[in-house]
Structures are given as C-alpha cells and as structure tokens.
C-alpha cells in the first residue's frame, strides 16, 4: 500500500448559501486548491454528498462536478454514507492513490440543504436510518439520539448539565473560525436555558445544518516528502454497525467507532494518548460522548467527565472540535467529513491562531453516518 | 498495485420484483456468493445504486445492506455514478483490494424501479443529466439519445434499419439467459414495426428498466491463483466527459469511452482484436454504436456495419451482449454494471450453454453513466 499525503485543502464558510448553486458551492474549495497549488490536471474526483438527488434534483455528482472544475476526462464518482459521506469520499480517494491507480485525487464534500423546507430536510436525513423500522415509525435522528441520551443519563447517573461543557467548548472555538456558521460564544447558562428540541436534547446539544463544501487534494507521499505543508495520512479505517439502533445489544456502545478507531491506531502505530487533537462527530453531545468512550479517550459511562474541566480546550489534554465542530461550524452533512480533514490539516500546519493546539503533530478525525451505523476514522501526521 | 481476482458472482432475474424489498433484492446475489464459497466473514461492501434515495426513500445503502447480509462491522459505502453505478462500485471494491487495505470486498449493484410510476422514474433518471441545462428543459435521456441518433444518421448517411441487427442480437441471446427480463427473440420485422418512443428511437432501440441485483466477490489474486473459477481483473479504467451533451465539441464521439477503453487495454496489454466478447452498454442502439467506435471496434461512422452480418453473435468476430445486454436482460440501472461483470465471468468459465463464446479467454465490459458522461471499462481474463 503506497503512502499518501494531503497536499492542500479548501473550504467555504458554512452558511445559507442561497446565492450559490450546488456546482458553485462544490467548485469553490477545489478552485482554492488549484490556485494554491498551481495544479492544472487531475486524475480523479471523489464527491461526498448525501441528499442532492432529492434536495437538489441532481445525481451523478462525480461527472457533474468534474466537468464544472475543468477536470477534463478525470475519473469521478459520488460516494454516499449518510452524514459520513465526506469521510467516505476522502477514504475512497485515499484507496485510489494508495493502490497506485491514480497520482492525484480530489475529495470534495458538498451539501446544499437550506433551499429545502425544514420538514423535507428532516425526512431526507431520515433516509440514513432504517426506512421500515425507524423512519416509517417517525423516528427522526434527533428522536433516536434523544432516546440514547436519556438512556445514557439513566444508566450512568448523569444529569443534563454534565454535557454543557461540550457545547461551550465548540462555540468558544467556533468564534475564531471564519468558516463557522455560529460564531458566538455561549455559557453554561445559555446551554441550560436553551429550547428543547426533543427531550433531553436541546438546541445546544444539536448541530445545525447548513450549506457548505470542503475539499482535500491527495497525492502519493513520495512526491511531497519533506514538504512542510503536505500532511501524511497515517491511518484510515471504516466500520459499520446495525442500521437500526434497536438491533444493537448495547445501544450505548458504538462498536463501529471502536473498530475503526482501533484499526486506525494500529495503522498509525499510536494510542489515544498520542493524539494531539480530535475532530470528532459532535452532531449531538451524546454522540460526542459515545465516540470518546468507544475510541478509547474515556472509560465507559465517564465521557462527560472530559467536559468538566479544560481537558478538551485547545490547550487541554485532548482538544476536541478545535474549529467549532459540527455544533458551531455547522453540519452540511456530506461536507462535514472534509471540513474535519481540512481543520486537522490546518492544526498540523500550525495556522489556527487563537485555537491553535500547541505543537500539534498527530490529529484524528471521526465522521459518523446514521446513529453510529457507519464510522470513518482518520489519523493525520506532520511529516 | 496488488492484482485482484473475482472469486464468485451472484445475480437475480431482472423483473418486476414487487414481492421483494430493496434489502431482499440486494441480499440475494450476495447470499448466493456466501453459499457457493462458504465465506463467513467479509472485510468490505460496496453498493452500486442510483436512485434509492428518491425511489425507495432509503439512503446509506452501504451500512443498510452490510447489516442485512450479516457482514458484521465490515466497512461499507454506497457509490453512485448514474447508470454506471454498478461498475463504479465494482471499481471502488477493486481499489480497496488492490491497495492492500482489505482482503475481501463484495460489490453489489441493486435497483428497485418498478414500484414507482413511470413518470417519476423518468424524472429520477434525468437527475443523471445536467439539472439546469438538460433536465429542466425537459430533455429526458431518451430525448437526448434520439437527438444523437438523428444526428448520427444524418452525418454518416445511415437509415434506421441499419441498427436492427443490434436489437435482434440482444434478444436472440437473451432467450437463453434465465435472468433476462425479455426472453423472446425478435426479427428485423419486429424492430422495424416497433412503436416509436422518441423519433428515431423506437421500443426496440431502447433498453427497458426493471428491478434487479447482481454481485461479485473480489479477493487478492495471490490467494486464488490457479483456481479455475477465479477470474483475473486485468484492466480497470474510468473517465468522464461533459455532463451536458450540448457542451461537447463532437457529440458523436464518446471521449470518455475512448479514454477508459484505451487505459484498460494498456493495463491488460491487449488490443481490441484480443477481446473475445464485449458486454457493452446498449441502453440505446445509438449508444452501442458510439461505444463500439470510441472503443476501437469500428471506424468512426461505421459502427452499424457490425450489426449487418453475424460479427456480433456469440460465434462471431466480436460477440456483443452475449446474455441479452441491457436491451433483453433489462436495465435496473445501478445493478447493470454488476450484471455485465457476472455475465463476463460466466463466459470465461465456459458455462453459457447456447450463447457460449467458443474458447473465451478475455472479456471486456463497459458501463456508461448519463449520455456518455461517465464510462467504466473493465477487462477480465481467464487465469
């Protein structure tokens, strides 16, 4: 397996981008990469997107976007894994370069959600769940996560305020990210008084959607060895779990997160202690908690302890969502996995200013599809 | 790049499978493979599908199908490239095994189309075209292909009856395929009297849709070397063209087909003369013609000559669509690419009975998405 590096990244602010078409949105981070690298030809394009077929009446995004960005005759496909579509596209691009089949691959994640009415988007998001046993029963994603959170609180004896620190941290970091949708700091008070979405999940537990796009250019490591801005992909692993939460023996244990994290650690020859920052999938504070436990950063049932002191701040022991995460940056679903990669690359390049993790050398990202049904873990390293 | 082989295949009859769910349909060819190989664990699953998000209100097919087939914790994604989604999933599986990342990969293509009313399916198929400049203008796929066919006839001086041989050949072969949807032979007369769909394309120029699923199990060649039923993947290449037909300098030349075919020939170290059979993408007789020319089997403007005598029959110089092709087997879009692979494997194993190509050693498949916008070419060889 040939080693692979990320040569460059691009991203656009997550927002309500009503003035941009799906193409313009997807093209922008790629054109940033072309401009920064002077790249003029490209072997392949991998597009991460979940719902453009229904939300934008456009499928075939591989060819569609390759055409728009001028990637003449490049191979191009669309990869979908619900909210983990971005990381799935990144990993497919990685495999193509690692196999030796191509020497350059763009992975671009894009999602344009705010043109559609909220009930439609909620229904479309639910196509990531089990159509027969979850979606048709009215179990939206927030409902499924509310059930998980309630059960977690009951099983391990936590009160709601224990989760506040996760949300406060995300917003504190997002303030400094020009690409974040929600750039205002919040207090514990804000969290505790936030409107309820689906008890016990309130507005501050849940990531907001948005329109966005982010991209990464992957090349063989041997071609960029020694180049400071090129970041090595040291680990990449994916695993699945049952599609329906009710089918799991232990719904509070994300076995796909455990499996993919462990495989990524083995590949990168690291342990959780070596990770300098973790861009995790904080779609809901409960999923953040379960991800931390399954990935080996906290004991089972003790994830919220991490949110209690400064451990997850950029200067803490295990910095989380250093650019705001899904919560404050926003969660344009198919793009999220690529935003995480872009943010991890920026940290390893040391260009994150006020939220820079001191001496960051190893970063981990984790992108989750469905209620823990599909988990992609990546470990990136400075060369 | 590690060499890869197809160890086993599975397929279900293309039909109106109203009694089967999307899951049951997708699971069946995979369970056939499990039964034939005795396989009990699986590293990864790649699902080719175009329109389940809108037609079946279910996305996230990677995790969904991995769960159903019992591929506990396997990595799994959904790959989409319009009507070439099946080959796109196959190629993604190939990259994963070739890279050394996984040792077993199932590529399964599935499409369940006949539950939806025809106008809906027509609209959903059109999401493979340019939403703004083709679909919104009312240009369905059959309309776009009718424009191509009319222009081809005008430019190169062909009459409609010149295309009859392609359709007659497909139906003659389909009679012997138990998985084909339309198992009746037709005559030139049938073709010439067939009802018009969109002038000059009549019912016998156009492939019918259907519900179907087909799958292939990919493993490293080194693990099955010398095993007669294991077929080597000797070439795999993909390329794109503009999404909109009107944007092409020469709409009658499929440059993506040319590029992907040439790259596959180079990888497999063969020329068109070495190909013993060609499972091509006969969604319309005009696309079949253009594919033959761009892939080097006929001079520009002379493709229909091949249909005039017995050249394309199983015993001819270049046998085409030996099991009925899209025309007679049926075209469940996201599954088609895997049916082509399964049929090519059967030919190379010599188990095709009445339509067996004598001494078949090298087979080629070509799966096309949109109006030539995305083309995947594979070359398979007996070991």
A104-141 pLDDT tens trace? 999 999 999 999 998 899 889 999 999 888 988 888 99
Last residue of a domain, one of A223, A250, A279: A223
Burial A260-298 (b: 16+ CB within 10 A, else e): bbbbbbebbebebeebbbbbbbbbbbbbbbbbbbbbbbb
Question: What string of H, E and C letters represents the secondary structure of A33-90?
Answer: HHHHHCCCCCCEEEEECCCHHHHCCCCCHHHHHHHHCCCCCCEEEEEEECECHHHHHH
**CB-CB contact of B96 with B111 (8 Å):** no
CB-nearest partner of B59 from A96, A127, A256: A127
Task: Tell which residue, B377, B350, B381, B375, has the closest CA to residue B363.
Answer: B381
Same domain assignment for residues B106 and B134:
no
Same domain, B46 and B191: no
Which of these, A53, A103, A45, A148, lies nearest to B374 by C-alpha position?
A45
Closest Cβ–Cβ partner in A67, A129, A240 for B242: A67
> Looking at the structure, do residues B180 and B216 belong to the same domain, yes or no?
no
Residue B198 annotated as catalytic: no
SS (H, E, C) chain B: CCCEEEEEEEECCCECCCCCCHHHHHHHHHHHHHHHHCCCCCCEEEEECCCHHHHCCCCCHHHHHHHHCCCCCCEEEEEEECECHHHHHHHHHHHHHHCCCCCCEEEEEEECCCCCCHHHHHHHHHHHCCCCCCHHHCCCHHHHHHHHHHHHHHHHCCCHHHHHHHHHHHHHHHCCCCCCCCCCCCCHHHHHHCCEEECCEECCCECCCCEEEEEEEEEEHHHCCCCCCCEEEEEEEEEECCCCHHHCCCCCCCHHHHHHHHHHHHHHCCCHHHCCEEECCCCEHHHHHHHHHHCCCCCCCCHHHHHCCHHHCCCCCCCECCCCHHHHHCCCHHHHHHHHHHHHHHHHHCCCHHHCCCCCCEEEEEEEECCCCEEEEEEEECC
| Domain hosting residue B60, numbered range | 4-117+211-223
CA-closest candidate to residue A281, choices A296, A272, A291, A268? A291
For residue A132, being part of any structural domain is answered with no
* Average pLDDT of chain A, as a whole number: 97
Nearest-CB residue to B369 (from A58, A63, A256): A63
pLDDT confidence of residue A138: 87
Chain B contact set for A21 (CB, 8 A) = 132
- Residue A174 above 90 pLDDT? yes
CATH number of the domain to which B72 belongs: 3.40.47.10
* Interface A-B: count of C-beta contacts within 8 A: 205
Minimal Cα–Cα distance from A346 to chain B, Å? Answer: 27
Is A122 inside any structural domain? no
Residue A238 lies in a domain: yes
What is the pTM for the complete model shown? 0.98
- Contacts of A129-134 with C-beta under 8 Å, sequence gap 24+, read A129/A243, A129/A244, A129/A370, A129/A371, A129/B60, A130/A243, A130/A244, A130/B64, A131/B56, A131/B57, A131/B58, A132/B21, A133/A244, A133/A246, A134/A243, A134/A244, A134/A245, A134/A246
Give the model's pLDDT for residue A94: 98
- Range of lowest pLDDT (B91-105, B134-148, B175-189): B134-148
Tokens 């087997």 identify what position? B329
> Quick check: A106 and A42 in contact, CB under 8 A?
yes
Q: Which of A176, A281, A331, A378 is catalytic?
A: A331
pLDDT greater than 90 at residue A14: yes
- From chain A residues 215-244, the ones with a CB under 8 A of any chain B CB are 236-244
Residue B183 lies in a domain: yes
**B contact residues 54-83, partner A, Cβ 8 Å cutoff:** 54, 56-64, 66-67, 71, 73-82
| Contact flag B127-A256 (C-beta cutoff 8 Å) | no
A362 by Cβ neighbours in 10 Å (0-12 / 13-18 / 19+) ranks as buried
In this prediction, residue B131 has a pLDDT band, given cuts at 50, 70 and 90, of: confident
* Chain-chain contact of B241 with A63 (C-beta, under 8 angstroms): yes
Condensed to tens digits (0 to 9), the pLDDT of residues A285-328 reads 999 999 999 999 999 999 999 999 899 999 999 999 999 999 99
Q: What's the average model confidence in pLDDT over A228-255?
A: 97
Are B79 and B172 in the same domain?
no
CA-based nearest distance B365→chain A, Å: 17
Q: Are B249 and A84 in contact (CB under 8 A)?
A: no
Q: Which of B124, B135, B373 minimises the CB distance to A63? A: B373
CB B32 within 8 A of CB B16: no
- CB-nearest to B243 from A57, A60, A80 is A60
Q: Which residues of B touch A129 (CB under 8 A)?
A: 60
Q: Residue A57 phi/psi, 5° resolution?
A: 50, 35
Mean pLDDT of A258-278: 98
The reply to whether B102 and B181 lie within a common domain is no
Percent pLDDT > 90 in chain B is: 94
Q: Which residue of A has its CA nearest to B126?
A: A58
Same domain, B176 and B110: no
Same domain assignment for residues A85 and A175: no
Which of A63, A135, A261 would best serve as a mutation to test chain B binding (most B beta carbons within 10 A)? A63
Quick: pLDDT tens for A354-376: 999 999 999 999 999 999 999 99
Q: How far is A95 from chain B (nearest CA, A)?
A: 6
As a whole number, the mean pLDDT across chain B is 97
- Give the mean pLDDT of A4-32: 97
- pLDDT tens digits along B208-230: 999 999 999 999 999 999 999 99
pLDDT of res. A131: 84
Cβ <8 Å between A79 and B92 = yes
CB contact under 8 A, B95 and A100: no
Whether B31 shows a pLDDT value over 90: the answer reads yes
Q: Which residues of B touch A236 (CB under 8 A)?
A: 101
Q: How far, in Å, CA of A214 to CA of B272, rounded?
A: 41
Terminal-to-terminal C-alpha distance of chain B: 18
Residue with the larger pLDDT of the pair A40 and A43:
A43
Nearest CA in chain A to B238: A75
Nearest-neighbour CA in chain B from A100: distance (Å): 6
Q: Which of B223, B256, B272 is the C-terminal boundary of a domain?
A: B223
User: Residue B132 — pLDDT band, cuts 50, 70, 90?
Assistant: confident
Q: What is the pLDDT, as a whole number, of residue B40?
A: 84
* Closest of A134, A111, A155 to residue A304, by C-alpha: A155
Catalytic, out of B83, B171, B281, B352: B83
B352 and B240 in a common domain = yes
Matching residue, tokens 């940033």: A32
Question: Considering A223, A258, A286, which residue would you say is the last residue of a domain?
Answer: A223
Measure Cα distances from A253 to A279, A280, A295 in Å. 19, 16, 10
Q: Are residues A31 and A98 in the same domain?
A: yes
Is residue B314, in this structure, part of any structural domain at all? yes
Contact between B10 and B207 (Cβ < 8 Å): no
For residue A172, report the phi and psi dihedrals to the nearest 5 degrees. -60, -40
Confidence band for A283, pLDDT divided at 50, 70 and 90: very high
For residue A83, indicate whether it is catalytic.
yes
Residue B218, pLDDT score: 98
Tokens of A258: 């455990």
Q: Is residue A304 part of a domain?
A: yes
Same domain, A86 and A170: no
- For B:97-126, CB contacts with A below 8 A are 98-101, 124
Percent of chain A at pLDDT exceeding 90: 94
The confidence score (pLDDT) of residue B160 equals: 97
Residue B309 has pLDDT above 90, yes or no: no
Q: Which residues of B touch A141 (CB under 8 A)?
A: none
pLDDT in tens, B254-305: 999 999 999 999 999 999 999 999 999 999 999 999 999 999 999 999 999 9
Do A300 and A360 fall within a single domain? yes
Q: Give the C-alpha separation, A4 to A231, whole Å.
A: 9
- Give the closest-approach CA distance of B250 to chain A in angstroms: 14
Predicted local confidence at residue A99, as pLDDT: 95
Per-residue confidence at B1, pLDDT binned at 50, 70, 90?
confident
**For residue B208, what are its two tokens?**
């019918």
B260 to chain A: which residues are within 8 Å by CB?
Answer: 75
CA dihedral B283, B289, B292, B293 (to 10 degrees): -140
Does residue B247 belong to any structural domain of this protein? yes
Cβ neighbours around A20 below 10 Å, total: 16
The predicted complex's ipTM stands at: 0.97
Query: Which residues of chain B does A220 touch, with a Cβ-Cβ cutoff of 8 Å?
Result: none
Number of structural domains in chain B = 2
Contacts of B318-321 with C-beta under 8 Å, sequence gap 24+, read B318/B272, B318/B275, B318/B277, B318/B278, B319/B276, B319/B277, B319/B278, B319/B357, B320/B166, B320/B169, B320/B170, B320/B277, B320/B278, B320/B279, B320/B280, B320/B282, B320/B288, B320/B292, B321/B169, B321/B170, B321/B173, B321/B279, B321/B280, B321/B282
Interchain contact, B240 vs A66, CB within 8 Å: yes
Residue B333 lies in a domain: yes
For the ranges A345-349, B68-72, B337-341, the lowest mean pLDDT is seen at: B68-72
**Is B47 in contact with B74 (CB distance < 8 Å)?**
no
CA distance A56 to chain B (A): 9
Q: Which residue of A has its CA nearest to B42?
A: A239
Neighbours of A349 (CB within 10 A): 16
Q: Does the pLDDT of residue B87 top 90, yes or no?
A: yes
Cβ of A127 under 8 Å from any chain B Cβ? yes
- Please give the torsion angle defined by the CA atoms of residues A260, A266, A269 and A270, in that order, rounded to the nearest 10 degrees: 50
Same domain, B164 and B37: no
CB B63 within 8 A of CB A369: yes
The string of pLDDT tens digits covering residues A66-107 is: 999 999 899 999 999 999 999 999 999 999 999 999 999 999
The partner residue sitting opposite A73, judged by closest CB among B73, B98, B255, is B255
Q: In chain B, what residues touch A124 (CB-CB under 8 Å)?
A: 53
CB contact under 8 A, B369 and A2: no
């Amino acid at each position: 397996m040939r080693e692979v590096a990320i040569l460059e990244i691009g991203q656009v602010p997550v927002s309500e981008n009503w003035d941009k078409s799906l193409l313009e949105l997807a093209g922008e981070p790629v054109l940033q990469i072309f401009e920064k690298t002077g790249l003029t030809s490209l072997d392949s394009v991998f597009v991460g997107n979940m719902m453009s077929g229904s939300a934008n009446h456009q499928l075939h995004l591989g060819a569609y976007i390759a055409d728009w960005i001028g990637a003449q005759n490049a191979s191009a496909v669309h990869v979908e894994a619900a909210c983990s579509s971005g990381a799935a596209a990144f990993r497919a691009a990685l495999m193509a370069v690692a196999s030796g089949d191509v020497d350059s691959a763009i992975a671009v994640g894009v999602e344009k959600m705010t043109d559609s009415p909220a009930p439609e988007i909620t229904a479309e998001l639910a196509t990531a769940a089990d159509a027969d046993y979850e979606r048709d029963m009215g179990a939206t994603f927030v409902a499924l996560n509310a059930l998980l959170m309630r059960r977690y609180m009951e099983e391990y004896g936590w009160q709601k305020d224990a989760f506040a620190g996760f949300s406060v941290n995300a917003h504190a970091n997002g303030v400094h990210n020009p690409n974040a949708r929600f750039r205002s700091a919040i207090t514990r008070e804000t969290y505790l008084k936030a409107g309820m979405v689906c008890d016990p999940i309130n507005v501050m537990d849940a990531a907001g959607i948005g329109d966005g796009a982010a991209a990464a250019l992957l090349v063989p490591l041997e071609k960029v060895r020694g180049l400071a801005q090129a970041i090595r992909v040291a680990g990449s692993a994916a695993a699945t779990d049952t599609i329906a939460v009710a089918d799991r023996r232990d719904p509070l244990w994300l076995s796909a997160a455990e499996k993919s994290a462990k495989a990524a650690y083995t590949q990168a020859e690291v342990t959780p202690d070596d990770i300098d920052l973790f861009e995790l999938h904080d779609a809901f504070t409960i999923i953040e908690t379960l991800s931390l436990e399954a990935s080996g950063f906290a004991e089972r049932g003790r994830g919220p302890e991490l949110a209690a002191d400064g451990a997850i701040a950029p200067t803490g022991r295990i910095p989380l969502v250093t650019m705001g995460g899904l919560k404050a940056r926003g969660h344009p679903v198919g793009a999220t996995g690529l935003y995480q990669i872009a943010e991890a690359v920026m940290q390893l390049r040391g260009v994150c200013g006020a939220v820079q993790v001191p001496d960051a050398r190893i970063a981990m990202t984790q992108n989750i599809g469905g209620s823990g049904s599909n988990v992609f873990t990546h470990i990136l390293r400075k060369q």
